[in-house]
């Protein structure tokens, strides 16, 4: 396998999350959505996600202020209770716990399930939008919507179309294009609340039998440490439900052996794309830390075992 065929991470920009509207005129629909979402205390919904081309998947999400979120799909969920971020992976029935911070929040909520509604958390919405214009009107799943087409250059060029519901004033769905990826997302249910969030919605309870996996840089070079790196950086694109590029990193049993040559990390495509001075992966995110790279290197060097 060549370096170009192995894709390990979701290709999603956080590019539209902050804004100084006074610097330029934005379509009124975006300004209205920003006010509605920023005035809201909660936002929740269920969505259908079409990775183009590819199969459909579904996800549910709940947002609460100030920094509460839960996003769940077939592979597991990510949950922030305002203090810690919990990532649960169904395939391995395991979870990690890391401290919450603004950078993690932005990465999590700007994924392909919830991109159009990240303004809920933004202090300065839409700052990175370079251009935005109103498009045509259409009907999607019985909703009369108007298109608002936006583009940005940083952190990587991309574009997205908000489908603003004429009745509610906020996005019913969206189309997101980033690099060589495209997602079409429509909401099956979406509701805004003006009362404070229910804390129980964002309280973590470990699923039955789930085991906690320590952070990779504290867990040595065994497979548990490697899986923790995958869970944090490679999902949901490389979960069992999507298998982007044919690669499933959700469990040892599903790990494609063609990307790992046991005992020889330097000849393994997996290590090749995440290492070096200018690593190919992660895409649109900072490179893996030296500690994480070493964890993967040592695991492969020691035989790429499943324990």
Percent of residues, the chain, with pLDDT higher than 70: 88
Per-residue pLDDT reduced to its tens digit, 204-224: 999 999 999 865 444 456 888
**Which pTM does this prediction carry?**
0.66
Q: Where are the domains of the chain?
A: 3-7+216-301, 21-202
How does DSSP assign 123-143, residue by residue?
A: SSTTTTEEEEEEEEEEEETTE
Lowest mean pLDDT among 15-19, 181-185, 190-194, 242-246: 15-19
**What is the per-residue pLDDT for 138?**
95
- Topology given in CATH for the domain delimited by 21-202: outer membrane lipoprotein receptor (LolB), chain A (2.50.20)
| 31 — pLDDT class (breaks 50, 70, 90) | very high
Distance (Å, whole) CA 179 – CA 243: 18
Query: pLDDT value at position 15?
Result: 40
The continuous run of DSSP H or E covering 31 comes out as helix 28-39
Rounded to the nearest 10 degrees, the angle between the axes of helix 290-301 and helix 223-233 is: 130
pLDDT 10s digits, 162-205: 999 999 999 999 999 977 789 999 999 999 999 999 999 999 99
């Amino acid at each position: 396998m060549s370096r170009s065929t192995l894709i390990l991470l979701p290709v999603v920009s956080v590019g539209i999350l902050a804004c100084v509207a006074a610097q330029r005129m934005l379509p009124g629909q975006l300004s209205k959505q920003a006010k509605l979402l920023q005035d809201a205390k909660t936002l929740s919904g269920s969505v259908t996600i079409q990775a183009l081309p590819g199969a459909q998947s579904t996800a549910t999400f709940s947002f609460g202020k100030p920094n509460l979120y839960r996003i769940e799909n077939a592979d597991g969920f990510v949950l922030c209770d305002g203090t810690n971020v919990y990532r649960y992976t169904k395939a391995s029935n395991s979870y990690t716990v890391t401290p919450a911070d603004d950078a993690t929040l932005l990465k999590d909520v700007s994924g392909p399930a919830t991109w159009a509604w990240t303004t809920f958390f933004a202090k300065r919405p839409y700052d990175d939008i370079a251009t935005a214009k109103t498009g045509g009107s259409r009907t999607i799943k019985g909703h009369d919507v108007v298109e608002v087409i936006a583009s940005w250059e940083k952190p990587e060029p991309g574009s997205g179309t908000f489908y603003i519901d004429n009745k509610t004033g906020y996005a019913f769905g969206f189309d997101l294009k980033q690099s060589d990826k495209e997602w079409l997302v429509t909401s099956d249910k979406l509701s805004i609340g003006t009362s404070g969030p229910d804390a129980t919605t964002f309280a973590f309870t470990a699923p039955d039998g789930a085991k906690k996996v320590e952070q990779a840089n504290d867990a040595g070079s065994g497979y548990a440490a490697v899986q923790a790196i995958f869970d944090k950086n490679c999902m949901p694109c490389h979960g069992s439900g999507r298998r982007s590029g044919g690669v499933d990193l959700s469990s040892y049993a599903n790990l494609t052996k063609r990307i790992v040559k046991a005992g020889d990390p330097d000849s393994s495509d997996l290590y090749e794309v995440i290492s070096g001075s200018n690593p190919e992966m992660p895409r649109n995110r900072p490179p893996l830390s030296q500690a994480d790279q070493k964890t993967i290197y040592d695991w492969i060097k020691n035989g790429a075992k499943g324990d």
